[in-house]
Amino acid sequence: MRKSCKIGLALLLTPVFLLLLSLFVVIGFISTTSGSSFIVSKVNSLLEGTLSITLDLKEGSLVYGPVTDKPFEVLVNDVVRVSSDTLDLRYNAWDLLFKGSLFIDKLKADNLKVELILPDDDTESEEDSEETVEDEESFRLVFPFPVKLKTLEVDTFAYLSDIIDIQVDNIRANLEIRDSFASVNTLSTDNVLVHLKDDDWEDEEETASDTAAAIENVAALDLQKVAGKVTAEGKETAAAASAVTGADTKATSENSHSRAFITRAREGVNSVIDSLIEGLKEIISDTLGVLGFNGGEHGEIERLVTVDLPLDANIGELKAGKVRYYMSNYDTGEISDVEVSAFWNHTLLSVGKVRASHPLGKVAVKGSMNFDEYFTLNFDVSGEGECSEYTKTEYEGALYGLKGSAAVTGSLVDLNLNARITEPQEILVRGRLNCLSSALPSELEVSTRKLVYPFKNAFEDSEKTQLEADAQPESVSEDNWQATADRALNENSSIEDSDKVKAFAISSEQEKITLSDFSLKSEGPIMGDMKVRLEGRLEGYGLENAMVELDCKVSLARALINKLSVDGSYQGAPFNVAYRGLTDYSSDVLLDGRLAASASDLEDLNDLLSGKGELLTDFLFRYQLESDNIQFKVRSIDGNLILNGKQLLLTGRDLVGDLAQGYNLGSFRVTQGRNLVDLHGMVGEKSDLVGNLSLKALEDLAPGLKGNLIGRVRARNSITSPDLSMLIRSKGLLRYEDMMASDLSVNASLSASEGRIGVTVVSEYLKLAKGLKPSRKCALDLSGTLAKHRLSLNCGGNNGGYIGAEGSYSEQDKIWQGSLKDLIFVSQYTDPVSLKDKVEINIDTENMSGSLSAFEIGGEMGSLQVGKTEFGSGRISTTVDLPNLDISKLTRYLPNAVMRGSASLHADIDMIDGVPDIKAQVQANRNFFSMASFALGIDKALVEASFTGSQIKAHTALDLFRNRGRLEADINLSDPYEARKLSGNIDLTELDLGLFQALGNAFNELKGTASVHGSLGGDLSMPLFNGTVSAKGSA
């Protein structure tokens, strides 16, 4: 019996032993490198067409972890490809058997890629469509055993798809999963590059626009259907996710079942997005009546689909050195020093921190959001703008030195914003919005005590104030600020502070505008009418204490402006401007309203103006965006002011037209006593605009002006090629201060269509300045065409002459060529002067460059020689020579003097952007000058001078006849326009005092010599001399 039991037990245990032995043999086989390679090849054979694994093991196994230095790839057909150049995965699968967990010591891969290869058109087979999944109310993903990954090392990682590409360099991470928890404990990377491929979106813009319009115009739907649809899709999504989780146990070797699993997994993800979007569209379209900040008392706004993650996700510490996101029309640029920590538990997302830096500034975010019901949230945001040259010049300098914080709280039906900008100027912003109501109810308040534009000036002003306090503890007034800053620089300021002071000195001279006590309030639905009120005070650009008020009702299509007024002073003159009307911007931009402006005292604007001025106009303007054209209708315009003590009235009626086709002017009149200007007619393809002048009392227009002018101006034909004519005459004497003309007549015509011009100006009597004798019978004539024209000017009398010139213009080459052929000038003060030869002139009108040939003008005294003159690109250069000027000819201006000798002058003139660079030299030899009882003989003289705009230098060397003295001087004048500081040396050696004994009776028998040696200082207003004066002799 006992023996039979042993035999039975042996027979029973033998299969178990053989099974265990086989299992250990298989495990042992898998634990070897060759065994693992065999298993991989068998899996490839069984799942051919669905799954493919490329793994050439160098060492390790599937039990202890595969290691290969050759390319590794896992391909799931029509789904994903995972590959790397190398793979080093270290773990011990026996931990699962004995410890119930898997510890991965290392996962290292080079050039790791995950590439989605989804087909363009995914259709389920009939077998797939018939599959059903059991509905579940909620789904929680539970990992069967804990997994820890101690070290993840990836040199280069790339995620590639049709929608987005992500490239990450140098990943180092520590990961773990357990139960329903997944955590990235630590992760660091050098570079992250994200590219959103939105090129195909442009083809969908029209469809998206149509969809948006349909959403806005949809009627009220059955909310129960919406809720039911979202719920059903949510359940289907949960079931699909469940199918993903159980894929390992349900997968079979049949390709059809594998493809069904892949399709349902992909659609499970898409279903979440689609249900959310469609549900939101239908919910929002049903809430046209919700204008408050809640979900509605009767369920007008359905609660949103709850987003409950199937597992808890944690990011302990994520750091990225550089991050960049870009798409076709947007690029964030380089974002650096990114830090993230966050935790998502069921529906609650908690963000511990998000920090990032950018060339524009830094930002930090923390808070939480619950993806349940109306998605409540609570976030704190803070940031500051960089102080750099980039932020100073870009974005109008608004980010330069900017600091602020904001709190975003509430839910999507009552979203609240409280923001505060603290530097460089304080701005408070409070906002409220119901995001889920299609009417978008909103509230907004913006206020600031002081706002300066350009914005960088505000930052500089605040630093300037701080620097003033540091440099001078006591009170420093605005007047002595510069002196205080200079003293701080000279005494104890650092180099950095000195640069700031210099910057402040420059920026303080720049024009800026300041908005003070500013308040903006708006209330109402964004999709309806919002009430907007604005108040503030403007200063700058001539404005002083200008109060601005705006009261209007605004919608997305138009604004009804009840009041827009500005009341203050401009350049010291009080004024008021008020506007009310309608502004429509639904398609084109239309303004229809009345504008009234008045100023109580215009004297500060111009010396000719005084007293009160008023302007009232009623108009309609329409800017057509498609054609870039402006249509207008000025129904009326009326104004009055005091000009030169006389009232001037302005009236206009019915100015109707547009800039492209032309306009019709009913009437426009300016009257002042006996002076009248009247303009009326049409401007367009067949223009006929007439202006009549009847100025019978010119003395009423400006002081010093006397006489009368009567004439007519007319424009005909096309507005692009008009024919103009003008005839103006003055009877009797026309006078402005010391300038006079009698019987002046101006007759001009211009035919743009024919390219012909004719101008004739005639005056019987012409006097240009006080002390000059008048010129007689003056006539100017300009005639010809653009291609060829000529000019002549002729005047008789004691001050007269003749000028003759001709020229031509090539429209194709944009070149004007001409010549000054004749120039004769006769003056009561000089002998006749004439041009020796004609001057050739060449001008490129496109870039305004050209040249004048060398020429010479001469008379009895000598000749002035001007070298070739060239100009262009802000530069003019030439030379001037005055050789052998006969000094004796100057006696006509000093009849009691005797002068003999000659002098020569040479100058090189160069001017760049208005800054001169002139070098001149004057030489004189054997010159004699005597007047009354004083005589002076100069053996030789040399004067050398230079002028560079910032400095004038002069060197003088002079020797008198018979060694009776020598003068040598160097004189410098710095900053000749402002400071005008003097410096230099003067040396007068052995001056013969006998030169002065004939000057009156005080110096009879004066003998001896005098010497002066010293230096100059001070400025032109108060020159200083420091030196010695010595004399020896007798008197």
The pLDDT value recorded for residue 653 is: 92
Helix (H, G, I), strand (E, B) or coil at 318: strand
Residue 660 lies in a domain: no
10 Å CB burial of residue 284 (0-12, 13-18, 19+) is buried
Q: Of the candidates 364, 385, 368, 387, which has an alpha carbon nearest to the alpha carbon of residue 376?
A: 368
Is residue 924 one of the residues assigned to a domain? Answer: yes
Give which of 338, 306, 335, 351 is closest to 138, Cα–Cα.
306
Q: For residue 709, what pLDDT is reported?
A: 93
Handedness of CA 115, 121, 125, 126 (dihedral sign): positive
User: Scanning the structure block, which residue is given the tokens 């269509």?
Assistant: 753
User: Residue 601 has what pLDDT?
Assistant: 82
Other residues' Cβ atoms within 10 Å of the Cβ of residue 526: 19
CA–CA dist 338, 340 (Å, integer): 7
Q: Are 237 and 271 in contact (CB under 8 A)?
A: yes
pLDDT in tens, 73-118: 888 888 888 899 988 888 887 877 788 888 888 888 999 898 888 6
Handedness of CA 768, 770, 772, 776 (dihedral sign): positive
Cβ atoms of 903 and 922 within 8 Å: the answer is: yes
Tell me if 412 sits within 8 A of 386, measured CB to CB.
no
Local structure of 194: helix, strand or coil: strand
Nearest alpha-carbon partner for 907 in 918, 899, 891, 897: 918
Q: How many Å is the maximal CA-CA distance in the chain?
A: 175
Instruction: Give the C-alpha separation, 1032 to 993, whole Å.
Output: 9
Encode pLDDT of 18-73 as tens digits. 555 555 555 655 667 776 677 777 777 787 778 888 888 777 777 778 888 889 88
Under-70 pLDDT residues of the chain: 1-31, 35-36, 118-138, 198-291, 294-300, 455-510, 932-933, 997-1005, 1035
Counting beta carbons within 10 angstroms of the beta carbon of residue 433, is it exposed (0 to 12), middle (13 to 18) or buried (19 or more)? buried
Could you say which of 240, 263, 285 is where a domain stops?
285
Q: Which residue has the tokens 């040399």?
A: 942
**In the structure encoding, which two tokens stand for residue 537, read together?**
């005070």
In a domain, 960, yes or no: yes
- Which residues on neighbouring strands pair with residue 809, listed in sequence order? 816
Q: Which positions ≥6 away from 45 have C-beta within 8 Å?
A: none
pTM of the entire predicted model: 0.59
Q: Supply the range of the domain harboring residue 244.
A: 221-285
Distance, CA of 164 to chain centre: 32
Q: Alpha carbon 104 to chain centroid distance?
A: 54
Q: How many domains does the chain have?
A: 2
β partners of residue 985: 970, 1015
Contact criterion met (CB below 8 Å) for 1007 and 994: yes
Give the end of a domain, one of 255, 285, 315: 285
Give every CB contact of residue 177 below 8 A, 6+ residues apart in sequence: 143, 146, 147, 183
Look at residues 270, 285, 300 and tell me which one is the last residue of a structural domain: 285
- Residue 62 CB contacts under 8 Å (≥ 6 apart), including other chains: 30, 31, 36, 39, 40, 93
Per the domain annotation, does 953 fall within a domain?
A: yes
Residue 999 lies in a domain: yes
Taking CA atoms, 601 is separated from 493, 651, 961, 970, in Å, by 47, 21, 68, 54
Dihedral-angle region of residue 993 (phi above 0 means left; psi in -120 to 50 means alpha; beta otherwise): alpha
Asked if the structure places residue 558 within a domain, the reply is: no
Of 151, 186, 149, 154, the residue nearest 170 (C-alpha): 154
Q: Is residue 797 part of a domain?
A: no
> What is the C-alpha to C-alpha distance for residues 503 and 495, in angstroms, rounded to an integer?
12
Q: Between helices 495-507 and 455-471, what is the axis angle to 10°?
A: 130
Is there a domain that residue 959 lies in? yes
What residues pair up with 971 in beta bridges, in sequence order?
Answer: 954, 984
What pLDDT sits at residue 465?
47
Side-chain half-sphere exposure of 341, counting CA atoms within 13 A: 6
- List, as one string, the DSSP characters of 574-592: EEEEEEEEEEE-SSSEEEE
Residue in 607, 597, 699, 698 with CA at minimum distance from that of residue 650: 597
End-to-end CA distance of the chain: 172
Q: Tell me the torsion sign for CA atoms 224, 227, 230, 234.
A: negative
Q: Collapsing DSSP states into helix, strand and coil, what is residue 305? A: coil
CA–CA separation, 919 and 948 (whole Å) = 9
CA distance 724 to 536: 48
Confirm if 595 and 579 have CB atoms less than 8 A apart: yes
Which SS3 state, helix, strand or coil, does residue 998 take? coil
- Among left, alpha and beta (phi > 0; psi -120 to 50; other), residue 906 is beta
| Alpha helices (H) along 286-329 | none
Partners of 537 in the β-ladder: 516, 547
